[in-house]
């Protein structure tokens, strides 16, 4: 007994404060959020405790999922995530592939690509709001004005004011900011591949394409999976960049996180909590398979 306490006592004492804090401020608050989403707390008196609330089950979830505006938010979220993921993964991989070659000034290029990460989404959103100005013709500014100057008038478009594709325009600054991060991940992956593997492939007569297909890409797959999960879950929580470029009330750039903010601002805590729970389920659907995959890989 004394031996067991000596062995497990110190680590348990060290971990206990963290476990209590996580239990209260993470899982406890998630539980309260889910409980709120199952009530009819839609008014300010209910939110402040001056009026009673009642249990309504999954009614708020069915109402949200059947609402056209919320369906539009979910479609925007999917579109934003796809454009953001494809853009960051392609640009990040190409930049890493170029930097993996022996070139002069690699450190300068690496710093230039990584620098946008140091800028907050709010600050870059203010600049990109001007660049993505939707005015065209004589009143054009930002990128539309640039297209005019270089004679590419046909490229002028309303950017984020397009009802169907507007959210894809807001993914552009997100790609600009996170591509450098993905590049750093891929570059570390490239540098972690032993040179002997490449040489062995070339000695066996493999072409450059076959070398990439059968040697380099399989070695980079864990890095690609990590980048996909990290960037994917960031896109699902997009809020500050969209708020900086557009406005919460703009239908064309609505995503679930914006809906959650609007519901909370109007004291509709039940619907706000329901949107938060839906976002949590979507993020969990991305993260949990990744964690399971990592756990299985560590056991091998």
Percent of the chain with pLDDT over 90: 38
With contact defined as beta carbons under 8 Å apart, do 80 and 255 qualify? yes
Per-residue pLDDT averaged across 105-110, rounded? Answer: 82
DSSP string of the chain, one letter each residue: -HHHHHHHHHHHHHHHHHHHHHIIIIIIHHHHHHHHHTB---SHHHHTTSS---B-TTHHHHHHHT-HHHHHHHHHHHHHHHHHHHHHHHHHHHHHHHHTS--TTHHHHHHHHHGGGGS-HHHHHHHHHHHT----GGG--HHHHHHHHTT-GGG---GGG-TTTHHHHHHHHHHHHHHHHHHHHHHHHHHTS-HHHHHHHHHTT--HHHHIIIIIHHHHHHHHHHHHHHHHHHHHT--HHHHHHS-TT-GGG--HHHHHHHHHHTT-HHHHHHHHHHHHHHHHHHHHHHHHHHHHHHH-
- Distance (Å, rounded) from C-alpha 62 to C-alpha 275? 11
Q: Is pLDDT at 298 greater than 80 in this prediction?
A: no
Q: Is pLDDT at 191 greater than 80 in this prediction?
A: yes
Per-residue pLDDT averaged across 162-170, rounded? Answer: 88
Per-residue pLDDT averaged across 257-284, rounded? Answer: 92
Q: Mean pLDDT in the chain?
A: 88
Per-residue pLDDT averaged across 168-173, rounded? Answer: 91
pTM score: 0.85
With contact defined as beta carbons under 8 Å apart, do 260 and 275 qualify? yes
Confidence (pLDDT) at 24: 93
Confidence (pLDDT) at 1: 67
Q: Is pLDDT at 263 greater than 90 in this prediction?
A: yes
Confidence (pLDDT) at 118: 85
End-to-end CA distance of the chain, in Å? 34
Among 54-58, 61-65, 66-70, 148-152, which stretch is predicted with the lowest mean pLDDT? 148-152
| CA distances from residue 78 to 109, 190, 237, 256 in whole angstroms, order as listed | 32, 30, 12, 11
Percent of the chain with pLDDT over 70: 99
Confidence (pLDDT) at 275: 94
Question: Which tens digits make up the pLDDT trace of 219-244?
Answer: 888 888 888 888 888 888 788 889 88
Q: Is pLDDT at 210 greater than 90 in this prediction?
A: no
Q: 76: pLDDT confidence band, cut at 50, 70 and 90?
A: very high
Per-residue pLDDT averaged across 274-285, rounded? Answer: 90
Question: Which tens digits make up the pLDDT trace of 23-38?
Answer: 999 999 999 999 999 9
């Amino acid at each position: 007994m004394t031996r067991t306490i000596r062995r497990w006592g110190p680590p348990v004492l060290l971990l206990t404060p963290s476990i209590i804090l996580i239990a209260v401020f993470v899982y406890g608050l998630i539980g309260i959020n889910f409980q709120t989403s199952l009530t009819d707390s839609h008014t300010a008196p209910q939110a402040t405790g001056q009026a009673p609330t009642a249990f309504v089950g999954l009614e708020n979830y069915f109402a949200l999922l059947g609402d056209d505006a919320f369906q539009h938010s979910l479609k925007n979220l999917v579109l934003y995530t796809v454009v953001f993921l494809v853009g960051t993964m392609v640009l990040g991989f190409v930049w890493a592939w170029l930097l993996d070659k022996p070139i002069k000034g690699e450190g300068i290029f690496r710093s230039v690509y990584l620098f946008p990460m140091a800028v907050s989404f709010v600050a870059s959103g203010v600049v990109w709001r001007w660049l993505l100005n939707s005015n065209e013709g004589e009143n054009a500014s930002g990128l539309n004005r640039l297209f005019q100057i270089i004679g590419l008038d046909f490229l002028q478009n309303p950017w984020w004011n397009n009802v169907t594709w507007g959210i894809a325009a807001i993914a552009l600054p997100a790609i600009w900011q996170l591509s450098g991060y993905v590049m750093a991940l891929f570059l570390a992956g490239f540098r972690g591949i032993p040179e002997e593997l490449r040489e062995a492939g070339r000695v066996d007569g493999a072409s450059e394409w076959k070398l990439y297909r059968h040697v380099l890409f399989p070695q980079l797959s864990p890095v690609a999976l990590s980048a996909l999960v990290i960037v994917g879950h960031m896109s699902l929580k997009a809020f500050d960049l969209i708020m900086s470029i557009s406005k919460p009330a703009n239908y064309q750039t609505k995503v679930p996180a914006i809906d959650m903010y609007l519901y909370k601002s109007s004291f509709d805590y039940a619907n706000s909590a329901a949107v938060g729970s839906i976002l949590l389920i979507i993020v969990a659907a991305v993260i949990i398979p990744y964690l399971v995959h990592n756990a299985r890989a560590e056991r091998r």
